Amino acid sequence: MSQATRILLALVSGLLIGIALVAVDAKLALTITGFTQPIGLAWLHGLQMVIVPLIVGLLVTGVGAAADAARAGKLALRAVLTMIVILWSTTVMSAIVTPLLLDLWPLPASWSVALRQALTGAQPVGTVPTLGAFFETIVPSNVVSAAAGDSFLPLTVFALALAFAITQLAPEPRAMLTRWFQAITDALLIIIGWVLRLAPIGVGALAYGVGARTGAAAFGALLHYIVVVSAIGFVVLLSAYPVAALFGRVSVLRFARAAAPAQAVAISTQSSLATLPTMLAASESLGAAPAAAGIVLPLAVAIFRATSPAMNLAVALYIAHWLGVPIGPGALAAGVCTAAITTMGSVSLPGTISYIASVAPVAFAMGVPIEALGLLIAVETIPDLFRTVGNVTMDIAITVGLGRVRDAGQEPPFVPSEVEGQARSADVSTSNG
């Protein structure tokens, strides 16, 4: 049985036990939550404790990989710039579309109130930033204070500046620092792996409390979450078709037919890396030069996930909607920036780790508590299908668009670094492709 299945079973079991026990003895059921809730929160805090250093390490190594790729040639540089534009564009789209979806199809008020009361440990993270405060605090005056206060956007800006500064060093010190940050990141991932082994216990404990306090409303809320977040991934997927039509000069119907086999493999494997051979065949059938496809697609698999920032922001916005946390322009801007910047760092992490490492900084930057992630992680399997298919489809679209450059055949194929290769190898057997 896979870890994802065990976590999902723990979620369902916890909810059902909580609902059933309330029906038998409501007082006893609520008394038990006084024991289960601390267990669930302790598990969640175990994940939370490594997020700050993990994000710094991931950004340094991720930016280093992107910089190395951009140095590979003109086509690789164009590809990296195209990916950055798409990541920011889809994130802004999510900032607009997700609130619209939640306004058009809100979570029923009674469910929202019950769930808010069930997550008793979910308190807003600091003050909600205004638009003026966003610009005032985006550059940290004290990076240590920013890290201690979970101020993720200023911390992200510092980590990004540090990462770019490291890329400007001479080869020897640059490699030394990159290896050092990679070693720190690998050690933190081992800690997260240990914590995730206890996920069925932590998720089950949190789910019991929610089930005891909300009843069947919890199942409805989780279904509502799946639909809303998956819808954002579907919008990103659909946007790949006009990208291919406008920049690749292929018809939408032809692109759809060529991409379908790769999409089928993506659904069955939930891994962009496992879909790479099919993506290469699809790109070449649409007119991309084989040499160009050999550069752009491996690069995309290594450092690019088109759906990640948009869907990560959607998760944070959904939690805010769930818990009644107001999101003003400043908080939304902070979420957009954090989601778009951090996505390249966590691109090659295994699915469960990537979910926490990617969504938590966005939520923190917006002042949204992350306790709900302990429940939502259990149902991420379905939205993850939209993540993977959307990523694969956009990878093909940009490859077709970039695959006609004149100097593509003059550049060597992109070969990911050993570090990136090891990170991506973990992605084959996990989700979040």
Per DSSP, the residues of 231-246 read HHHHHHHHHHHHHHHH
| pLDDT for the residue 375 | 84
d(CA 215, CA 208) in angstroms, rounded, equals: 10
| pLDDT for the residue 386 | 93
- For residues 333 and 383, the answer to whether their CB atoms sit within 8 Å is no
Residue 333 lies in a domain: yes
Which residues lie closer than 8 Å to 219 by C-beta, 6 or more apart?
15
Residue 147 lies in a domain: yes
State the pTM of this model: 0.83
Domains: count for the chain: 1
Angle at 353 between CA 47 and CA 392, to 5 degrees: 160
d(CA 41, CA 370) in angstroms, rounded, equals: 10
| pLDDT for the residue 150 | 63
| pLDDT for the residue 427 | 38
Q: Which residues of the chain have pLDDT under 50?
A: 406-409, 416-430
Residue with tokens 């869907």: 311
Residue 327 corresponds to which amino acid?
A: I
Residue 433 lies in a domain: no
Residue 127 lies in a domain: yes
| pLDDT for the residue 133 | 58
Structure tokens at 48: 């939370």
Burial readout 46-74 (b: 16 or more C-beta within 10 A, e: otherwise): bbbebbbbbbbbbbbbbbbbbbbbbebbe
In terms of residue numbers, what domain contains 301?
3-425
Residue 432 lies in a domain: no
d(CA 395, CA 391) in angstroms, rounded, equals: 6
298, containing H or E segment: helix 290-303
**At what angle are helices 381-402 and 290-303 packed, to 10 degrees?**
150
Q: What is the CATH number of the domain that holds 19?
A: 1.10.3860
Residue 28 lies in a domain: yes
| pLDDT for the residue 136 | 63
| pLDDT for the residue 358 | 84
339, 83, 400, 228 alpha-carbon torsion, rounded to 10°: 10
The sign one gets for the Cα dihedral 360, 174, 137, 101 is negative
Residue 82 lies in a domain: yes
| pLDDT for the residue 424 | 38
Residue 430 lies in a domain: no
| pLDDT for the residue 145 | 73
| pLDDT for the residue 13 | 93
| pLDDT for the residue 348 | 54
